[in-house]
Structure 1
Amino acid sequence: ARNVRRARESLGWTRQRLCAEAGISPQTLTKIERGGACTPGVERKLADALGTVVGRLWEPIQLERQVVRVPTKDRWYFAGHADGERFHRRHALLDGDKPIRYDPDEIQSPLERARMGLSGLAAAFVRVTTGHLRAGSVISSLIELYGRMDAEIPEGRFAYFHVVRGAVRIQLRGEAFDLAEGDVMHAEMSPGATAEPLRPVLPRGLPPLLAYVDVDVRRNKTTGSD
């Protein structure tokens, strides 16, 4: 994907670090950063490691000192890989030689997202609001929730969640946290975390909207200190 190198460098990562985070070989990463193609599985691993979604890796990145993201210019993506692949199968859009687009034009419409979410065809949609700056990256997104979504945030990463609209249940390490509109949650992530609407989304209602930011924190010198 053409901007993998820029995304990696904006995070201050070496090639070795990205290979370790994504679980791919150095040879594969070198080929991709030189403009070579990759399989959907590799693209998915890179997207997860770089804090973005599949499809964004093919878009150009301009490194600035500030980035303003506006809804009319951003795109919505399927939050789950399986939801996106099912959409492409239903519409006979799968082509083994081309990467799957997880931001089809159809789901840019809130009415279509609602139709798919309410009918169980997709659990969640994400608007990636990540900003790649010259000195680093701020990884963030807005998530519309219709069903249970796997968080897929790497273990040990620190997360900031803000419920912008509605009510959300986040499950983490076997414990459920019920968050109302306006609530904020900080968490050290672990595998198996999920997010879902606290109550079923009604046909004429709006889905919960959850803001997520990947946070770099000041580490405590000793575990358990304030």
Structure 2
Amino acid sequence: MRILALHLLAPDMPALHHFYAAVLALPAQLTAAARRIQVGYSELIFRAAAPGTAPYYHFAFHVPHNQLDAAYAWLKARTALLPFTDGQPIADFPNWHARAFYFHDPAGNILECIARQDLPNAAAEPFSAASLLGLSEAGVVTPAVLPTAEALLAAHGIPPFHRGPRLPNFAALGDDEGLLILTETGRGWLPTARPAERHWLRIEGEQAGQPVVLEDGSGPLAR
């Protein structure tokens, strides 16, 4: 699966724009309705949240599989990074053949940079904003993880990730190129254990060459 666009709600749009455009040096476009951030082949689209609300989400960026340490140093020079466990900065996911680290944006979103060893995306040039290759993961919060997973498979052919897991309260769907991370409402997100909250989102992508559009509250995400 390839995640091409992720639409999210956010408070304090000027602070978000500064973070992505100035701190992370990503191409950014302001429109009357949204802030559009280009991340490699993917696009993040932030729309203003209702006054008094502060929705937050989890999503991840691909980085070259041989440059996670360089990515860590590059991000650490620009923003605070989150420890994973016991003060360790890097998460090692041997079952996924991946390593990752985490940080926040001004909206409190939990961002992740992940290097997947099975993707042919090694790079020789120094790490830069252009090394954020695209969206690797999008978190989807639901009260019914396995029924939602079954609905996504039936409607769009998005399979369970072959590396797992597939649990009643947590499941990964897709492949190394792009994953939907289904988590039960209230389950803690890594690495902060902050309870997952369900908020509106829209995901646009491709699965097996076919377009996929998912929106909270409709279709497979209606539960």
TM-score of Structure 1 vs Structure 2, range by shorter chain: under 0.3
Normalized per residue, the structure richer in helix is: 1
Q: Answer with 1 or 2: which has the greater Rg.
A: 1
Q: TM-score, normalised by structure 1?
A: 0.26
State the structure with bigger RCO (CA 8 A, min sep 6), 1 or 2: 2
